[in-house]
A and B are shown apart, each in its own frame.
Chain A
Protein backbone atom coordinates (compact mmCIF):
# COMPACT_ATOMS: atom_id res chain seq x y z
CA UNK A 1 0.00 0.00 0.00
CA UNK A 2 1.38 3.40 -0.94
CA UNK A 3 1.26 6.14 1.66
CA UNK A 4 2.05 9.82 1.10
CA UNK A 5 5.70 10.64 1.62
CA UNK A 6 4.87 13.94 3.34
CA UNK A 7 2.29 14.81 5.97
CA UNK A 8 -1.15 15.87 4.65
CA UNK A 9 -1.53 19.58 3.96
CA UNK A 10 -3.99 21.57 6.06
CA UNK A 11 -7.59 21.28 4.89
CA UNK A 12 -8.06 25.03 4.55
CA UNK A 13 -8.63 26.32 1.04
CA UNK A 14 -8.87 23.00 -0.84
CA UNK A 15 -11.80 22.60 -3.16
CA UNK A 16 -13.73 19.61 -4.42
CA UNK A 17 -15.86 20.18 -7.51
CA UNK A 18 -18.26 17.48 -8.70
CA UNK A 19 -20.74 17.82 -11.54
CA UNK A 20 -23.01 15.23 -13.16
CA UNK A 21 -24.52 16.81 -16.25
CA UNK A 22 -25.88 16.22 -19.73
CA UNK A 23 -24.01 19.04 -21.40
CA UNK A 24 -20.43 18.91 -22.59
CA UNK A 25 -17.64 20.36 -20.44
CA UNK A 26 -14.68 22.56 -21.28
CA UNK A 27 -11.31 21.07 -20.43
CA UNK A 28 -9.71 24.54 -20.58
CA UNK A 29 -12.21 25.93 -18.09
CA UNK A 30 -11.83 23.02 -15.67
CA UNK A 31 -8.03 23.17 -15.89
CA UNK A 32 -8.02 26.91 -15.28
CA UNK A 33 -10.05 26.41 -12.10
CA UNK A 34 -7.55 23.80 -10.85
CA UNK A 35 -4.40 25.69 -11.85
CA UNK A 36 -4.89 28.68 -9.58
CA UNK A 37 -2.81 30.09 -6.77
CA UNK A 38 0.80 29.29 -6.02
CA UNK A 39 0.59 26.14 -3.87
CA UNK A 40 -0.11 23.73 -6.74
CA UNK A 41 3.10 22.82 -8.53
CA UNK A 42 1.34 19.99 -10.33
CA UNK A 43 -2.00 19.65 -12.11
CA UNK A 44 -2.95 16.30 -13.61
CA UNK A 45 -6.09 15.85 -15.70
CA UNK A 46 -7.76 12.87 -17.35
CA UNK A 47 -10.48 12.99 -20.01
CA UNK A 48 -12.55 9.93 -20.95
CA UNK A 49 -14.09 9.89 -24.43
CA UNK A 50 -16.59 7.69 -26.28
CA UNK A 51 -14.89 5.32 -28.72
CA UNK A 52 -16.47 3.53 -31.67
CA UNK A 53 -18.81 0.82 -30.44
CA UNK A 54 -17.53 -2.75 -30.39
CA UNK A 55 -20.73 -4.18 -31.82
CA UNK A 56 -22.39 -2.78 -34.91
CA UNK A 57 -25.67 -1.24 -33.89
CA UNK A 58 -28.61 -0.73 -36.23
CA UNK A 59 -29.63 2.89 -36.68
CA UNK A 60 -26.29 4.50 -35.91
CA UNK A 61 -24.00 4.73 -32.90
CA UNK A 62 -25.90 6.34 -30.06
CA UNK A 63 -24.86 5.76 -26.45
CA UNK A 64 -27.13 6.21 -23.46
CA UNK A 65 -25.57 6.97 -20.07
CA UNK A 66 -27.99 6.04 -17.27
CA UNK A 67 -27.31 6.97 -13.63
CA UNK A 68 -28.71 6.76 -10.08
CA UNK A 69 -29.15 10.46 -9.31
CA UNK A 70 -29.22 10.38 -5.51
CA UNK A 71 -26.12 8.18 -5.38
CA UNK A 72 -23.69 9.57 -7.97
CA UNK A 73 -22.46 12.68 -6.19
CA UNK A 74 -22.37 10.90 -2.84
CA UNK A 75 -20.20 8.13 -4.29
CA UNK A 76 -17.86 10.49 -6.13
CA UNK A 77 -17.45 12.53 -2.94
CA UNK A 78 -16.61 9.36 -1.01
CA UNK A 79 -14.00 8.31 -3.57
CA UNK A 80 -12.40 11.77 -3.51
CA UNK A 81 -12.30 11.74 0.30
CA UNK A 82 -10.50 8.41 0.21
CA UNK A 83 -7.98 9.89 -2.22
CA UNK A 84 -7.50 12.86 0.15
CA UNK A 85 -6.76 10.44 3.00
CA UNK A 86 -4.00 8.77 1.01
CA UNK A 87 -2.29 11.67 -0.80
CA UNK A 88 -1.48 15.34 -0.03
CA UNK A 89 -3.63 16.71 -2.84
CA UNK A 90 -5.21 20.15 -3.13
CA UNK A 91 -8.15 20.70 -5.48
CA UNK A 92 -10.09 17.89 -7.14
CA UNK A 93 -12.63 18.22 -9.96
CA UNK A 94 -14.74 15.41 -11.38
CA UNK A 95 -17.30 15.91 -14.14
CA UNK A 96 -19.35 13.02 -15.55
CA UNK A 97 -21.86 13.31 -18.35
CA UNK A 98 -25.19 11.52 -18.61
CA UNK A 99 -27.83 11.04 -21.27
CA UNK A 100 -27.22 10.71 -24.99
CA UNK A 101 -23.65 10.59 -26.30
CA UNK A 102 -21.89 9.64 -29.55
CA UNK A 103 -18.42 8.36 -30.50
CA UNK A 104 -15.93 11.20 -30.13
CA UNK A 105 -17.85 12.85 -27.29
CA UNK A 106 -16.28 13.57 -23.92
CA UNK A 107 -17.71 11.47 -21.06
CA UNK A 108 -15.68 12.17 -17.93
CA UNK A 109 -13.09 14.55 -16.52
CA UNK A 110 -10.90 13.99 -13.47
CA UNK A 111 -8.48 16.73 -12.41
CA UNK A 112 -6.22 16.86 -9.35
CA UNK A 113 -3.77 19.50 -8.17
CA UNK A 114 -1.00 19.05 -5.59
CA UNK A 115 2.32 20.56 -4.60
CA UNK A 116 4.28 17.80 -6.36
CA UNK A 117 3.41 15.52 -9.26
CA UNK A 118 3.51 12.07 -7.63
CA UNK A 119 0.39 12.67 -5.54
CA UNK A 120 -1.56 14.22 -8.44
CA UNK A 121 -0.77 11.34 -10.81
CA UNK A 122 -1.56 8.64 -8.25
CA UNK A 123 -4.73 10.28 -6.92
CA UNK A 124 -6.20 10.88 -10.37
CA UNK A 125 -5.63 7.24 -11.35
CA UNK A 126 -7.12 6.08 -8.03
CA UNK A 127 -10.20 8.26 -8.52
CA UNK A 128 -10.78 6.94 -12.06
CA UNK A 129 -10.28 3.31 -11.00
CA UNK A 130 -12.90 3.62 -8.28
CA UNK A 131 -15.26 5.72 -10.40
CA UNK A 132 -15.19 2.83 -12.90
CA UNK A 133 -16.15 0.25 -10.26
CA UNK A 134 -18.32 2.12 -7.75
CA UNK A 135 -20.02 5.16 -9.33
CA UNK A 136 -23.59 4.31 -10.38
CA UNK A 137 -23.49 4.97 -14.12
CA UNK A 138 -24.39 2.45 -16.84
CA UNK A 139 -23.60 2.67 -20.56
CA UNK A 140 -25.85 1.40 -23.31
CA UNK A 141 -24.45 1.26 -26.85
CA UNK A 142 -27.47 1.20 -29.14
CA UNK A 143 -29.61 -1.64 -27.78
CA UNK A 144 -26.74 -3.35 -25.91
CA UNK A 145 -25.82 -2.70 -22.25
CA UNK A 146 -22.04 -2.60 -21.93
CA UNK A 147 -20.57 -5.27 -19.64
CA UNK A 148 -18.36 -4.34 -16.71
CA UNK A 149 -14.75 -5.38 -17.28
CA UNK A 150 -12.72 -7.67 -15.03
CA UNK A 151 -9.69 -5.46 -15.69
CA UNK A 152 -11.54 -2.52 -14.06
CA UNK A 153 -12.35 -4.41 -10.87
CA UNK A 154 -8.77 -5.71 -10.82
CA UNK A 155 -7.42 -2.16 -11.12
CA UNK A 156 -9.51 -1.08 -8.14
CA UNK A 157 -8.49 -4.12 -6.12
CA UNK A 158 -4.81 -3.45 -6.86
CA UNK A 159 -4.98 -0.24 -4.76
CA UNK A 160 -5.46 -2.37 -1.66
CA UNK A 161 -8.52 -2.90 0.46
CA UNK A 162 -9.62 0.71 0.75
CA UNK A 163 -12.91 0.37 -1.06
CA UNK A 164 -16.29 -0.70 0.23
CA UNK A 165 -16.33 -4.49 0.00
CA UNK A 166 -18.97 -5.56 -2.48
CA UNK A 167 -21.67 -8.04 -1.65
CA UNK A 168 -20.54 -10.78 -4.00
CA UNK A 169 -16.77 -10.55 -3.74
CA UNK A 170 -15.39 -12.98 -1.13
CA UNK A 171 -11.83 -12.00 -2.10
CA UNK A 172 -12.26 -8.61 -0.43
CA UNK A 173 -13.87 -9.88 2.81
Chain B
Protein backbone atom coordinates (compact mmCIF):
# COMPACT_ATOMS: atom_id res chain seq x y z
CA UNK B 1 0.00 0.00 0.00
CA UNK B 2 1.52 3.30 -1.09
CA UNK B 3 2.25 5.92 1.53
CA UNK B 4 2.71 8.67 -1.02
CA UNK B 5 0.58 10.87 -3.24
CA UNK B 6 1.18 11.07 -6.98
CA UNK B 7 1.06 14.71 -8.11
CA UNK B 8 0.59 15.59 -11.76
CA UNK B 9 0.98 18.99 -13.44
CA UNK B 10 -0.37 19.91 -16.87
CA UNK B 11 -0.15 22.49 -19.65
CA UNK B 12 1.19 25.98 -18.95
CA UNK B 13 1.60 25.21 -15.25
CA UNK B 14 3.81 22.19 -15.98
CA UNK B 15 5.93 24.37 -18.28
CA UNK B 16 6.31 27.04 -15.61
CA UNK B 17 7.40 24.45 -13.05
CA UNK B 18 9.59 22.46 -15.42
CA UNK B 19 7.99 19.22 -14.24
CA UNK B 20 4.93 17.11 -15.06
CA UNK B 21 4.88 14.69 -12.12
CA UNK B 22 6.26 13.91 -8.70
CA UNK B 23 5.79 11.48 -5.87
CA UNK B 24 5.04 13.25 -2.62
CA UNK B 25 5.04 11.77 0.86
CA UNK B 26 2.62 13.93 2.82
CA UNK B 27 3.17 15.20 6.30
CA UNK B 28 0.28 14.41 8.62
CA UNK B 29 -0.94 18.03 8.48
CA UNK B 30 -1.79 17.64 4.78
CA UNK B 31 -5.42 16.55 4.94
CA UNK B 32 -7.01 18.35 2.01
CA UNK B 33 -6.22 19.24 -1.61
CA UNK B 34 -5.91 22.85 -0.43
CA UNK B 35 -3.37 21.86 2.22
CA UNK B 36 -1.30 20.11 -0.44
CA UNK B 37 -1.65 23.09 -2.76
CA UNK B 38 -0.37 25.42 -0.04
CA UNK B 39 2.59 23.20 0.86
CA UNK B 40 3.70 22.91 -2.77
CA UNK B 41 3.31 26.63 -3.51
CA UNK B 42 5.32 27.51 -0.41
CA UNK B 43 8.40 25.92 -1.97
CA UNK B 44 8.85 29.37 -3.50
CA UNK B 45 10.01 30.57 -6.93
CA UNK B 46 7.97 29.13 -9.79
CA UNK B 47 6.07 26.83 -7.36
CA UNK B 48 4.01 29.80 -6.18
CA UNK B 49 2.00 29.41 -9.40
CA UNK B 50 0.48 26.19 -7.98
CA UNK B 51 -1.22 28.32 -5.32
CA UNK B 52 -2.73 30.74 -7.85
CA UNK B 53 -6.46 31.40 -7.71
CA UNK B 54 -6.59 30.17 -11.31
CA UNK B 55 -5.23 26.71 -10.50
CA UNK B 56 -7.72 23.88 -10.72
CA UNK B 57 -7.43 20.66 -8.70
CA UNK B 58 -8.49 17.10 -9.44
CA UNK B 59 -8.25 14.23 -6.96
CA UNK B 60 -8.37 10.75 -8.50
CA UNK B 61 -9.39 12.21 -11.85
CA UNK B 62 -12.34 14.19 -10.52
CA UNK B 63 -12.44 18.00 -10.33
CA UNK B 64 -12.78 19.08 -6.74
CA UNK B 65 -12.70 21.95 -4.29
CA UNK B 66 -9.73 22.84 -2.11
CA UNK B 67 -11.59 21.29 0.83
CA UNK B 68 -11.57 17.81 -0.77
CA UNK B 69 -9.73 15.28 1.40
CA UNK B 70 -6.51 13.71 0.15
CA UNK B 71 -4.72 10.65 1.45
CA UNK B 72 -1.79 8.38 0.63
CA UNK B 73 -2.38 6.48 -2.59
CA UNK B 74 -4.36 9.32 -4.19
CA UNK B 75 -3.51 10.97 -7.51
CA UNK B 76 -3.76 14.77 -7.32
CA UNK B 77 -3.48 16.96 -10.40
CA UNK B 78 -2.95 20.72 -10.59
CA UNK B 79 -3.71 22.51 -13.84
CA UNK B 80 -4.83 25.76 -15.42
CA UNK B 81 -8.49 26.28 -16.38
CA UNK B 82 -9.30 23.84 -19.19
CA UNK B 83 -9.56 24.98 -22.80
CA UNK B 84 -10.80 22.01 -24.79
CA UNK B 85 -13.66 21.82 -27.26
Q: Which residues of A contact B (CB under 8 A)?
A: 48, 65-68, 70-71, 74-75, 78, 96, 107-108, 128, 131-140, 145-148, 153, 164-168
Pair A131/B85 contact, Cβ less than 8 Å: yes
Pick the residue among A75, A96, A146 that contacts B83 (CB under 8 A).
A146
How far apart are the CA atoms of A128 and B56 in the complex, in Å? Answer: 19
How far apart are the CA atoms of A147 and B80 in the complex, in Å? Answer: 9
Pick the residue among A140, A164, A165, A168 that contacts B53 (CB under 8 A).
A168
Interface 1/0s, chain B 49-85, versus A by CB < 8 A? Answer: 0000111111001111111100000010101111111
B33 to chain A, nearest CB (A): 7
Pair B83/A166 contact, Cβ less than 8 Å: no
Interface membership of B26, Cβ < 8 A: no
Pair A164/B82 contact, Cβ less than 8 Å: no
The listed residue with most A CB atoms (<10 A of its CB), out of B34, B75, B79, is: B79
- B85: nearest chain-A partner, CB-CB: A132
- A130: nearest chain-B partner, CB-CB: B85
Pair A68/B81 contact, Cβ less than 8 Å: no
Pair A128/B54 contact, Cβ less than 8 Å: no
Interface membership of B10, Cβ < 8 A: yes
In the complex, which residues of chain B have a beta carbon less than 8 angstroms from the beta carbon of A65?
84
How far apart are the CA atoms of A145 and B12 in the complex, in Å? Answer: 6
How far apart are the CA atoms of A167 and B57 in the complex, in Å? Answer: 7
Pair A67/B61 contact, Cβ less than 8 Å: no
Pair A70/B80 contact, Cβ less than 8 Å: no
The listed residue with most A CB atoms (<10 A of its CB), out of B12, B33, B55, B75, is: B12
Pair A134/B63 contact, Cβ less than 8 Å: yes
Pair B66/A66 contact, Cβ less than 8 Å: no
Given A65-B84, A68-B77, A168-B66: A138 touches B11 (CB 8 Å cut-off): yes
Pick the residue among B65, B77, B79, B82 that contacts A165 (CB under 8 A).
B65
Pair A145/B81 contact, Cβ less than 8 Å: no
